[in-house]
Amino acid sequence: MNLLNTLRFEALHILRSTYKIIAILLFILVAVYGLHNGYSLYEERNNEIATIKETSQNLPNDALKWYETGQKGPEERPWVDVTTPFWAMWYANHQVIDAPSLLMTYSIGQAEQFAYYKRVSMWSTAYDKDLTAEISNPERVAIGSLDFSFVWLFLMPLLLIVLTYSIHGLERDLGFTKLLSVQEPNRKSWVAKRFIAIGVFCSLLLVILVVIPALLGGYLGSHSGTILLLTAYKFLYLAFWILLLAIISYFGKGQTDIALKMVGLWLVLTIVLPGLVHQFATLKQPPGFMMEYINAQREDREEIFDKELDSVKKIVFEAYPALRESKFAITDSLINQPARNGMYRTALNLHMNKVVNEILANHQSRNQLIRKTYFINPVMAFQNRINAIVETDFDTNQEYRKKIQDAATKINEQLLIDEWNAVQVDENHFRNYLNLLKEE
Amino acid sequence: MYNIIQNEWRVLIHNKRLISLLCIISVLLAVIAYFGVQDAKSSQDKKQLAKEQIRHQWENIGDYNPHSAAHYGTYTFKPTTALTALDNGINNTVGTVLQLEGHRQNEIIHSPDSQSLMQSRFGTLKPAVVLQFIIPLLLIFLAFASVSSEKEQGRLKLLYLQGVSTRKLLFSKTISYWLIGIVLLILSLGIQFLLFSNNSGQDLINRLLLIFLFYALFYWIVCSLTVYLSAALKNNTAALTSMLALWVLWSIFLPKLVGAFTEETHPLPSRQAFSAAMQEDRSKGIDGHNPLSEQEEKLKDSILQVYSVESVDDLPINFDGLVMQADEDFGAKVWDKHFGALDATLLKQKKTFQRSGLINPFVSLQSLSMGLAGTDNWHHTHFQQEAEKYRRVFIKTLNDHHAYGGSKTGDWSWTADQEFYNSVADFDYQTPIINKALPVYKTDMVFMGLWFFGSFLLLLIGNPKNTHL
């Protein structure tokens, strides 16, 4: 029987089995629901970002009005003076946003665990306590979201089991294997062709489930490369399961034996091994309580603020040599309080950069350990690869945190230069502040 | 009945493949129970160290202004209960570090899952994962052919001739397989108990006994349904596929579906909306750092009246401390309103989720398992609420000292000595005893009971066709 005939035969076989049709329909329904969940999250985040962008304009608009009318700040807060760099920068109200990827529709990944917007000021760091994930039910998050990647990586193998456990098993149970040998002398090729046929059906299903949302969303053209890569990985995953199940089917002793082994394999690959690796990684490199960050925010901060100005100046001048040419650097005796404060604040920012980089490196070392286990934990390897493609993985969030840290440094740098040059902020200068993080 | 059970076990014992499988699962259970306990102990030790470090910092704060000390604040770490080793619940997804400081009620941050790549979709491999997912599957595999194979091999007639009734047969078969689940359950919980025997208070024993009870009920439900289907469906394969489909539906598909549904029926506010609403309410009250606010003027007038003086400079106390406490008192009302509403919505979601136990006993088991292990959202919220109660006392102590400790209004350079800071008690959290938490799981217990009686009745009055000769 050639492949085309096998395809026709398998299609008939599926169509004649009510429970296989129900399984396929149920799978499609769940997949569509998973896609819907991913897209809903994308929409929710976009709406939230739009609100944030809109409301974040209030403070700069207030400041612009004050520049126009010659006011220095709100009447009820007389200590605010937007002509000073500090308050002007404060009212610039910089937001650093991690815009959701459109491809989140295909995998929510770890996106629900992380914050995606933050007001960044001169005091901000990448691990501030306001950088918390959206409010959600922790029990629901612990159970996990029903997204398309879960459907494909965890439920698709179950669908394959439903569709294939009778291949070769039924013939063995009914004692037709000898008859089969007469029709198909090469048993391996017969089993392979039947599994390939199932694989072809599932591939078609995959293409439909990936392409239709992209067509409806209108991003098939703009994201074609990524969608192709995503489909390729999902196809590879399908092939991986087809191969494993075909081997079980070939060596199986009957339907029950095959079903037992297939479900056992699914259990090991999707629950036992990932759970074991998770436990191993937790024991080997336990997640911390951010003590290095807490200590930096309390003890190190106190230490920096207790230092003599000259010793702090030395550190900051080394980081920003341009400051040596500033007004206060030349005429040392004139240093005012904001310039003094700015020096300490920047020294703290420089220190926090170091601490944050250490934390990021620690996390990466834990990730390296997890990556090393991919060869025994293939399902999570695929999961993390897919999350990376659709930018809902841990590394995407690390990049976002780095962006926050860089933005805080940039704000500090500009602020310090202006403070040390005793700049009086006017409307034009304020507009420069507004554009400071434009590329972010 | 005893003879059938004995015979069933004799057959099982002679099945080498089954014995090997049971041995593998027992070893797996023992190993992961051991590693789970090691993990919990190491986590407890690390938290204790972190707690001591934070306290050490507090006890070495030196001469410090009380309000600056309120901003310096303190940190608390979510404790690891002994039964975390059994069921990790939501511990990987929620934070572990909570900053307690003046002016605000913070949220707990830095969850373990947010510190690395995704490692699993069903959580760390704790005994609960094996007990919830793997053992029921094993029981299905053991029991799916229990009655149908008797009929296929012609032994059913023989049994009837010996006077065995259908009811007796179904019950005996169910008990035979159920006992295997019970043995594995005892093994797992026993290791748990032995490894934590040094701190096994009565509450731990009560919790373990309840965990044992509900897992045992769930295994009964799984075994009885499998045996019944084996007796009711036309062949082994049909019984196996039906039970497998039910297992997938119960443990993989429905919990996620219902979880998503509960969030849609009782939506939570976005963080932005939540913070904005809180800020809006907060702005209506006194702001400790805004001396020009109307509310502060009112407070000032009332205090001047009480002390019969003209200006705050003439007060024998520090008015700034009173303002800070008034700020805290107003803030507390705002936090209670908004966090209270949030907790109420989460509770509604939990109740809706629990109600799905009517069609899915797995959900009831999961909820009971993490609830009894003290790792569910109720226990998490309890910790947060207790920490907040402590924060309020902690900040009030600092504000009172600021107000009545001997300083004058406006003297921000005034400091309290180390002795005072040492006298401020540390936060010592105690997990609530299970009796306090049980009402939360009433729905789960009722549904688990209903499923148990339903499955019992099924065996009692059911008349499956494969048992007809």
Q: Does A145 touch chain B (CB under 8 A)?
A: yes
Report the pLDDT value the prediction gives residue B381, as an integer from 0 to 100.
95
| A15 CB-contact burial (10 Å; exposed 0-12 / middle 13-18 / buried 19+) | exposed
Rounded Cα distance between A107 and A439, Å, is 27
Q: Which member of B95, B121, B237 has the closest CB to residue A144?
A: B121
Residue at token pair 């080498």: B16
Q: pLDDT of A231-281, one tens digit each?
A: 999 999 999 999 999 999 999 888 878 888 898 899 999 999 999 999 889
Contact B42, A286 (CB under 8 A): yes
CA A102 to chain centre: 12
Q: Which residues pair with B416 in a beta bridge?
A: B64
Kindly determine whether residue B257 and residue A133, on different chains, have CB atoms separated by under 8 Å.
no
Confidence of residue B141 (pLDDT cuts 50, 70, 90): confident
Question: Hey, what are A41's tokens?
Answer: 């999250």
Rounded Cα distance between A387 and A383, Å, is 6
Calculate the CA dihedral of residues B204, B207, B209, B212 and round it to 10 degrees.
-120
Contact A148, A105 (CB under 8 A): yes
Rounded Cα distance between A226 and A233, Å, is 11
Which helix (H) or strand (E) segment is A94 a member of? strand A94-97
End-to-end CA distance of chain A: 60
CA B101 to chain centre: 26
Mean pLDDT of B318-323: 92
- Dihedrals φ, ψ of B459, to 5°? -70, -30
Kindly determine whether residue B115 and residue A366, on different chains, have CB atoms separated by under 8 Å.
yes
Judging contacts by C-beta atoms under 8 Å, the chain A residues touching residue B118 are 109-110, 380, 383-384, 387, 393-394
pLDDT surpassing 90 at residue B312: no
Judging contacts by C-beta atoms under 8 Å, the chain B residues touching residue A397 are 114
Rounded Cα distance between A285 and A275, Å, is 15
* Pick among B105, B117, B348 to test the A interface (most A CBs inside 10 A): B117
* Pick among B34, B118, B247 to test the A interface (most A CBs inside 10 A): B118
Report the pLDDT value the prediction gives residue B200, as an integer from 0 to 100.
63
Q: Does B422 touch chain A (CB under 8 A)?
A: no
Mean pLDDT of A198-219: 93
3-state SS class at B162: coil
Residue A21 burial (CB count, 10 A): 12
Q: Which member of B75, B94, B116 has the closest CB to residue A363?
A: B116
Interface of B with A in 329-368 (CB under 8 A): 342, 346, 349-350, 353
Rounded Cα distance between A218 and A209, Å, is 15
How close A325 gets to chain B, by Cα (Å)?
A: 35
Rounded Cα distance between A155 and B200, Å, is 40
Judging contacts by C-beta atoms under 8 Å, the chain B residues touching residue A25 are none
- CB half-sphere exposure, B325, CA atoms < 13 A: 19
Report the pLDDT value the prediction gives residue A352, as an integer from 0 to 100.
95
Contact A96, A407 (CB under 8 A): yes
Contacts of B384 (CB under 8 A, 6+ apart): B98, B107, B108
Contact B448, B214 (CB under 8 A): yes
Q: Which residues pair with B100 in a beta bridge?
A: B74, B105
Q: Write down the pTM of the prediction.
A: 0.90
Q: What percent of chain A has pLDDT over 90?
A: 68
Rounded Cα distance between A38 and B260, Å, is 12
pLDDT surpassing 60 at residue B72: yes
Pairing mode, strands B97-101 and B74-77: antiparallel
Residue A318 burial (CB count, 10 A): 11
Of A161, A166, A149, residue with least CA distance to A237: A149
Report the pLDDT value the prediction gives residue A26, as an integer from 0 to 100.
87
Q: Does B90 touch chain A (CB under 8 A)?
A: yes
Report the pLDDT value the prediction gives residue B466, as an integer from 0 to 100.
62
Of B203, B28, B247, B27, residue with least CA distance to B126: B28
Query: Which carries the bigger pLDDT value, residue B346 or residue B7?
Result: B346
Chain B residue with CA closest to A135: the answer is B271
Chain A residue with CA closest to B142: the answer is A260
Rounded Cα distance between A389 and B398, Å, is 51
Question: Hey, what are A225's tokens?
Answer: 């490369």
Where do the H-state alpha helices sit in B107-266? 127-129, 135-143, 148-152, 155-161, 166-195, 202-232, 236-247, 254-265
pLDDT surpassing 90 at residue B90: yes
Q: Is the dihedral of CA B321, B326, B328, B329 positive or negative?
A: positive
Calculate the CA dihedral of residues A414, A416, A420, A421 and round it to 10 degrees.
10
3-state SS class at B289: coil
Kindly determine whether residue A384 and residue B117, on different chains, have CB atoms separated by under 8 Å.
yes
Judging contacts by C-beta atoms under 8 Å, the chain B residues touching residue A113 are 93, 111, 113-114
How close A160 gets to chain B, by Cα (Å)?
A: 13
Q: Does B75 touch chain A (CB under 8 A)?
A: yes
Kindly determine whether residue A272 and residue B350, on different chains, have CB atoms separated by under 8 Å.
no
Interface of B with A in 5-34 (CB under 8 A): 28, 32
Report the pLDDT value the prediction gives residue A144, as an integer from 0 to 100.
82
End-to-end CA distance of chain B: 20
Interface of A with B in 238-267 (CB under 8 A): 255-256, 259-260, 263, 267
Mean pLDDT of A163-191: 83
Mean pLDDT of A102-113: 92
Kindly report the CA angle at B89 between A153 and A358, in degrees rounded to 5? 80
Report the pLDDT value the prediction gives residue B152, as an integer from 0 to 100.
76
Across chain B, mean pLDDT equals 89
Mean pLDDT of B408-421: 91
Q: pLDDT of B16-69, one tens digit each?
A: 777 888 888 888 888 888 888 888 888 889 999 999 999 999 999 989 999 999
pLDDT surpassing 80 at residue A431: yes
Q: pLDDT of A347-399, one tens digit each?
A: 999 999 999 999 999 999 999 999 999 999 999 999 999 999 999 999 999 99
Query: Which carries the bigger pLDDT value, residue B236 or residue A421?
Result: A421
Report the pLDDT value the prediction gives residue A440, as an integer from 0 to 100.
46
pLDDT surpassing 70 at residue A1: no
Q: What percent of chain B has pLDDT over 90?
A: 54
Instruction: Tell me the longest C-alpha to C-alpha distance in chain A.
Output: 102
Contact B70, B102 (CB under 8 A): yes
Report the pLDDT value the prediction gives residue A439, as an integer from 0 to 100.
63
Of B143, B168, B149, residue with least CA distance to B220: B143
Q: Is the dihedral of CA B206, B207, B208, B213 positive or negative?
A: positive
Strand order in the sheet with B104-105: B74-77, B97-101, B104-105
Mean pLDDT of B373-398: 95
Rounded Cα distance between A137 and B376, Å, is 11
* Pick among A80, A127, A139, A167 to test the B interface (most B CBs inside 10 A): A139
Question: Hey, what are B243's tokens?
Answer: 């039970």
How close A150 gets to chain B, by Cα (Å)?
A: 8
Mean pLDDT of B404-421: 91
Rounded Cα distance between B229 and B239, Å, is 5
Kindly determine whether residue A139 and residue B110, on different chains, have CB atoms separated by under 8 Å.
no
Report the pLDDT value the prediction gives residue B429, as an integer from 0 to 100.
92
Rounded Cα distance between B413 and A408, Å, is 30
E-assigned strand segments in A215-367: none
Kindly determine whether residue A146 and residue B110, on different chains, have CB atoms separated by under 8 Å.
no
Contact A333, A302 (CB under 8 A): no
Calculate the CA dihedral of residues A296, A397, A112, A45 and round it to 10 degrees.
110
Judging contacts by C-beta atoms under 8 Å, the chain B residues touching residue A278 are 119-120, 123-125
Query: Which carries the bigger pLDDT value, residue B239 or residue A134?
Result: A134
How close A291 gets to chain B, by Cα (Å)?
A: 7
Please, what's the b/e burial string for B75-113 (b: 16 or more CB within 10 A of its CB; e: otherwise)? Answer: bbbbbbbbbbbbbbbbbbbbbbbbbbbbbbbbbbbbbbb
3-state SS class at A31: helix
pLDDT surpassing 90 at residue B153: no
Question: Residue type at A357?
Answer: N
Mean pLDDT of B356-380: 95
B129-to-A100, B53, B122, B417 alpha-carbon distances in Å: 32, 34, 8, 52
**Predicted-complex ipTM score:** 0.89
Q: Which of A189-203, A294-308, A318-332, A355-369 has the lowest mean pLDDT?
A: A318-332
Across chain A, mean pLDDT equals 91
pLDDT surpassing 90 at residue A172: no
pLDDT surpassing 70 at residue A332: no
Question: Residue type at B305?
Answer: Q
Contacts of A316 (CB under 8 A, 6+ apart): A323, A343, A346, A347, A350, A416
Interface of B with A in 266-325 (CB under 8 A): 268-272, 274, 276, 290, 292-293
Mean pLDDT of B68-81: 92
Rounded Cα distance between B376 and B382, Å, is 10
Of B121, B247, B201, residue with least CA distance to A158: B247
Of B56, B51, B95, B91, residue with least CA distance to B75: B51
Report the pLDDT value the prediction gives residue B198, as an integer from 0 to 100.
66
Kindly determine whether residue A139 and residue B126, on different chains, have CB atoms separated by under 8 Å.
no
Kindly determine whether residue A110 and residue B353, on different chains, have CB atoms separated by under 8 Å.
no
How close A31 gets to chain B, by Cα (Å)?
A: 11
Kindly report the CA angle at B191 between B189 and B193, in degrees rounded to 5? 70
Q: Which residues pair with A120 in a beta bridge?
A: A94
Q: Which member of A37, A275, A286 has the closest CB to residue B123?
A: A275
Pairing mode, strands B74-77 and A117-120: unpaired
pLDDT surpassing 80 at residue A333: no
Of B244, B278, B18, residue with least CA distance to B142: B18
Question: Hey, what are B235's tokens?
Answer: 């062949």
Judging contacts by C-beta atoms under 8 Å, the chain A residues touching residue B134 are 267, 271-272
Report the pLDDT value the prediction gives residue B25, as an integer from 0 to 100.
85
